[in-house]
Structures are given as C-alpha cells and as structure tokens.
Structure 1
C-alpha cells in the first residue's frame, strides 16, 4: 500500500486548505514537539536506583512511579478529541506542551509527592499530544503520511535516547544531582511550546466549532485489534524504558554503561521508526512487518538478560530495531486503517486511550515480579508473552482493510 491511497480520502474544505498551507515549518514544529514526548520515561529509569535509595521508595512504589505516566497516557487520551473540537488541536497541543514542561520540572524538587505529581502532569500532557498528532498528519500531510509518521516517531525515540544517554552524566555533573538532571528535560519541552505558540495563535481561532461525529468504532473488530496491538507494543516499550537499565545494573553493569545500552537501543528505535512506515506501506499489508518487529523486540530484551554483559549491547540493538519498528507501525496503522482525518483522530483516541491503560500494566507487573522473585527472569518471560499475544493481534490489525465507522455531521 502506498501513501497515495490517501489522495482519494474524503477531506473537508478546511482540511484541504490546511493541507495546502502545510509546509516544512509545520513539519519541523511537529517533529520538535514529538522530540519531547518520551524523555520523562527513560530519564527516570536510568537513575531509578538512586531515586529509590534517596527517597526510600520500595519496589512496588517505584513500579507505580514508572507506571503512573503510562496510565495517564491512557486516561487522558479519551478527552483529547473533544478538547480539539472545542479549542482547536493547535491550541490544545500548546497547552499540553506547557503541562509537560511544568510536570517535568516538578520532578526536580526530588521529594516523592512532587515526583508523582510531576509524572502525572507530564503524562497527561503527553497523552493529549499523542492522540492529536496522527490527525494533524492525516489532515496536513495526506500525501506524505509515511514520511511524517516516520519523522515524528523517530523524534519520539530520539528524546528517549537522549534522556537515557545523558541523564546519568547530568546527575554526576550538576550540583543538584538526580533531581536537577530530571528537571533539566523540562527545558526542551518549554522551548518546543514557545516555538509552537505562533502556530497555536495563528490557526487556533479557525479551529473551533462542531466537527463530524464518528460512530461504530467500539463495535469494530479491526479497531479493537489495532488497539490491542498499540497497547501490547506500548507495554513492551515501557518495560524497556522502565526496567532495561535497572535490569542491566542488577546484573552488575555500571550505571553509565547501562544508560548507554538503553540509549543505543533507542537510537536503533529511531532508525527503525524512520524506515518502517515507508517500507511497510509498499507491501500488500503490514502483517509480516509487525511479526518481524515483535520477533526482534522479544529476542533483544531476552538477550539483555541472558547474554554476557559484554554482549548486552547486541540485545539492545535488536530490541531497538523491533521496538522502534513497532511504535512506527502502530501509529501508521491508525492512519492506514482510517478513511479520513476525523476517524483517524477517534481511532487514535481509542487505540491510545485503551492501549496505554493496558500498557501501564506492563512495567507495573514487571516491577512486581522483580520484587516477588528477586530476579529479572520473570519480567523477561512476561515480555516474551506480551510479544506473542501482540503477534496474534497483528495478524488482523496488519490486514489491508478500513475500519467500519460512520461519520455524521
């Protein structure tokens, strides 16, 4: 399937005008926003042992802390379409970016209440942006869906890679230690919000008002399989963000080296994010691409546990290829399975809302299993089971079909 399938999709006059006006600056702005949507996860995981030691959080509360923003990704995905219809997607994204910046900064206070509150606010802001980005791509770049999806999912992984690589060095070099290192990631989020502000002010006033309602998604089998695939691959991703570095450190790897392996993993996620949408849309469907990526992700995470520490980077690379390919494919499928931008926004809300709530159980269960068993063997088996179920969902979600939803004025 090629991106050209979207040329024949139904677009409203407003959407056609927006698409004509879309240019490089808008695309760059979207990529900069996406670059700030994962640092809140990987930055914490690389200094989690220090956080636990300094705050007294036990394994269960540490699991809750790593899971909280993921759960927020699910809960706050549902109101995103309504907020977009009321205020316009550009203005909602601007406000959400400010929430991400404030929430990330709050974690720099270093006390458990602020760690939880900051994670909550950042997760809420990220959730809303996650839902609205596919609709903007569908609306403004109908002929460049694969390219734009690849670029912004690559940026998602880029923020995770940067946070994984530099948080520990920041923690060691900054006077404030790990709280300062965590808070520092609020600065690029604030910068992205300020860069986006002119777009919000310029277009927001035209975006309010009623838009067509979408019905029938929750009765559509294909929509549920897309949702399940999104949730399961996300569960795997947040197990990686939350527990790959602690797992390597538990095995005896030094903190900066563990952060490097996680960063290497996410660098390869970036490369896969850029390549997979274009490659996947060239075939008849996306089933085999999904199955291959689930296989890479599972082998890579298992390799980080079973391989000698000197070869753990191989596991990181394999997992990065698989995990990056999966997030790019999941976001691409939301767009490919939707007939127009309105359905894409609703399917995005459903897939990410329910999917991220499901995903939140991934790092939580991994942490509970780690605390109960005293090793990372059980979390590794959990990861492999999730990959197996995700592969089953991909057999239908990857088919070349469109969700059966009604769009009414």
Structure 2
C-alpha cells in the first residue's frame, strides 16, 4: 500500500534536513582549529610542523578511509553508514577536546575517518533520492559546508573567551571551543534517526569496483588530478595558517577568526554558484 502523501513529504523533508545537517559537520571540525592554532601550540608546546599535522591528518584519513567507505555502505546500507560517520565525528571531537596532545592528534584522525565516509556516501544518497535535483542539492550541500566552516572559524575565539568567563577549568579554553562543535553532528544524528529504518546500498555507478586503468594514460585525467591536488593543497594551507598570518600582520585573534570564517563562507557561496550555473553540464 502506498504511503500517504503527507508521510512521503514529511520523510522527504527530514531526509533533506538530515543531508544539510550532515554537511555542516564535514568541514567545521577542520576549519575550526585554524584560529586556535597559536593557543594550542603555546599550551601543548607544539612545533610548527606538529601544528600543521592537525590539518594534514584529516587528509591522510580521507585517503585511507575513502576507498573502504563504499564497502561499508554496501554492507551496512547508506543510512547506517552515514550514521556511523556522524558517530565517528562525534567521538573524535570528544577525544580531541580532552586537552592533551595524544587526544588532539588521535581525535583528529577519527574525525577524518568519519568525514571520509560521509564525503563518499552523501553524494551517492543525493543522486539516489534526489535524481531530478542533483545540481540544486549539490550546491546547497556545498553551501552548508561553507556555512559550517564559517561558523566554526568565526566563533572559535569567542568560545575560548566564554570558557574563561565561565571559569571552566576541566579543559583548556581552546579545547572547550573545539568541543562546542559537537553540536553539529549531535543534532544531525537526532534528525537522521528516522532514516535508519531504511537499508539501501549506494547507487551502482558510485560503488562498483573498476580499475579505470585507462585513466593512467589519459592526459586530461592527470591535469584534473593535478589541479584538484593543488587546490586542496592551497585550501588546507589557508585553513591552517591564515589566522596566524593575519595576527602577525596586526589583526586581533577575534578579527582573524572572523576574516577566516568569511572567506570560508565565500568559498562555499562560489561553489554554490558554480554548481547552480552548470546544472546538467556536471
């Protein structure tokens, strides 16, 4: 028997809301650390190389866990796999906020693993459930990632000030700021709970193993790969060090965090415009 129209509309609304809330958690745990890098280095006595690893480790986790994300999706189902990604991000945020270097680095790796799973499977879910709105959903998805990045970067320093005003001593003020980001995946998990009744595999064309051996001989493939690699290289340099550079140029930590956040939002808005403009040409 077909479901009532109101039930289908409600389910679709919760699905879309869940997708958008998951998107908020896919960059904010990484971008939120940039404005706090100086505080973390001073507190934990980290070198510049060690501090840089805080944004390098998620990339290494992406490279390691992305190839197995589709296997998890096929075995557990898309909905369950995405819930797993949110759980990993939440656990990683808790461990990273313990306040010591071991927790900081190990939590960052766990966060990267959770984000890697969602990075692979969320586009597949959008392709399956919103086949006529792929460009629109993708543009909103990217915009929400930018919004999450902007919020985490802009509020990073104000949250450390809040920790000081509240005399929170259980963890350092920067750890309190990082822990506050847990609100994104926790809300996403509650909204995503109704989707766990489903157990569906990723769309076939995104999960079937294929060696794609011909790509190794394709000049265009290498050009695109190099372009995307350089783009990510520059992006994560900015995420790590832009606030520190701005502070050295005379801006306050608050101003540096806000500028950093605005740039993240503009990046998301630019991608949103690009996807919307190209539409079916993607």
Q: Same fold (TM over 0.5)?
A: yes
- Alignment pair present for 1:166 and 2:155: yes
Residue matched to 2:234: 236
- Alignment pair present for 1:217 and 2:217: no
TM-score normalised by L of structure 1: 0.60
Give matches, 1:48-197, under 5 Å. Answer: 48-174=37-163, 175=168, 176-197=172-193
Quick one: distance in 1 between partners of 2:27 and 2:208?
31
Quick one: distance in 2 between partners of 1:162 and 1:218?
41
TM-aligned CA distance change 1:225 to 1:148, over 3 Å: farther
* Matching residue within 243, 252, 266 for 1:254: 252
Residues 342-393 of structure 1, C-alpha deviations (whole Å, 9 max, x = no match): xxxxxxxxxxxxxxxxxxxxxxxxxxxxxxxxxxxxxxxxxxxxxxxxxxxx
Residue matched to 1:43: 32
Quick one: distance in 1 between partners of 2:213 and 2:24?
31
2:97–2:175 CA contact under 8 A, matched in 1: yes
Worse overlay, 247-256 or 108-117: 247-256
TM-aligned CA distance change 1:213 to 1:270, over 3 Å: closer
- Alignment pair present for 1:276 and 2:277: no
- Alignment pair present for 1:198 and 2:191: no
Quick one: distance in 1 between partners of 2:201 and 2:258?
43
2:85–2:115 CA contact under 8 A, matched in 1: yes
Residues 241-266 of structure 1, C-alpha deviations (whole Å, 9 max, x = no match): 11111111122221001111111112
Quick one: distance in 1 between partners of 2:40 and 2:174?
8
1:76–1:128 CA contact under 8 A, matched in 2: yes
Quick one: distance in 1 between partners of 2:221 and 2:16?
27
2:247–2:253 CA contact under 8 A, matched in 1: yes
Deviation of the 1:68 alpha carbon: 0.8
1:22–1:140 CA contact under 8 A, matched in 2: no
Residue matched to 1:10: none
Residues 155-208 of structure 1, C-alpha deviations (whole Å, 9 max, x = no match): 111111001100100001112411111111112212212221220x2112x549
TM-aligned CA distance change 1:226 to 1:30, over 3 Å: farther
RMSD of the alignment, in Å? 2.4
Quick one: distance in 2 between partners of 1:216 and 1:178?
44
TM-aligned CA distance change 1:218 to 1:93, over 3 Å: farther
Quick one: distance in 2 between partners of 1:85 and 1:67?
28
1:217–1:223 CA contact under 8 A, matched in 2: no
Residues 11-30 of structure 1, C-alpha deviations (whole Å, 9 max, x = no match): xxxxxxxxx99733212210
Deviation of the 1:216 alpha carbon: 4.1
Quick one: distance in 2 between partners of 1:218 and 1:62?
37
Deviation of the 1:154 alpha carbon: 0.6
Structure 1 gap ranges (5+): 1-19, 286-335, 337-409
Residue matched to 1:339: none
- Structure 1 segments (4+ residues) deviating >6 Å: none
SS of structure 2 residue aligned to 1:78:
helix
Quick one: distance in 1 between partners of 2:109 and 2:85?
12
Residue matched to 1:300: none
TM-score normalised by L of structure 2: 0.86
